Amino acid sequence: MTACCAPASSAPPVPSFLQFRETEELWRRFPGRERLDGDRVALTFDDGPDPDATPAVLDALESAGVRATFFMVGEQAFEHRALAREVADRGHEIALHGFEHREHSELSGRAARDDLARGLGTIEVATGRRPALYRPPYGRFSEDSYAACRDLRLEAVLWSAWGMDWEPLPAERIAELATRGLAAGSIVVLHDSARYAPRADARATAEAVPSVVQAARAAGLEVVPVGG
């Protein structure tokens, strides 16, 4: 049973990335990890599609011979529809990151549900695919967005490794952080847009991709989308 689909009466506390970092027991069963059996790790990208960064990320993934999961923001997909479609056409998994990149604790119940539903419809129209996975901005759910995720039949997915590429870091540092402690079942989060981050651009993320893939393979791990 996935995290967002548990019956309301028996559901665990609303998950957040920070909550799942608190104890090793929770960490071993964070949302999304159960999908990655065997020696597989998932590479994921948040916040796009963005013409300033996504094309370079796509080319880097193609050169490395791997596919990834793109957690798209609906307003970005609407503005850059052709690029959103290209991500899908190049064989990558399409997932939802909301319509706007908003902290869900700031939204009312109706606003949270509307954000998910609007993002879901926008991304489906732009890419031709209905997302089955959802990651909340900043890795935090509200009670209402958690319930909306369940009602819209979306599976919650967080992450276990990050490159901190929302900061102005060089590619080498991003890759080092993203692959620290990389193991079977890991979900790596990077970002193919700088629109919602302090950094000026996201080019270093694309430059980090080959090193991330190389490190995974050196550890005997296969890089795949979250959905396999």
- Among 37, 46, 114, 144, which one carries the catalytic annotation? 46
Q: DSSP label at 84?
A: H
Sign of CA dihedral 9, 5, 100, 110: negative
Q: Is 192 a catalytic residue?
A: no
d(C-alpha 24, C-alpha 141), whole Å = 20
Asked if residue 73 lies in contact with residue 97, where contact means CB atoms within 8 angstroms, the answer is: yes
Alpha helix locations (H) across the chain? 17-22, 24-27, 54-64, 74-79, 81-89, 109-127, 143-151, 171-179, 203-218
Question: C-alpha angle with apex 162: 18 to 137, nearest 5 degrees?
Answer: 55
- Among 92, 97, 101, 191, which one carries the catalytic annotation? 191
Q: Is 46 a catalytic residue?
A: yes
Indicate which residues carry an active-site annotation. Answer: 46, 191
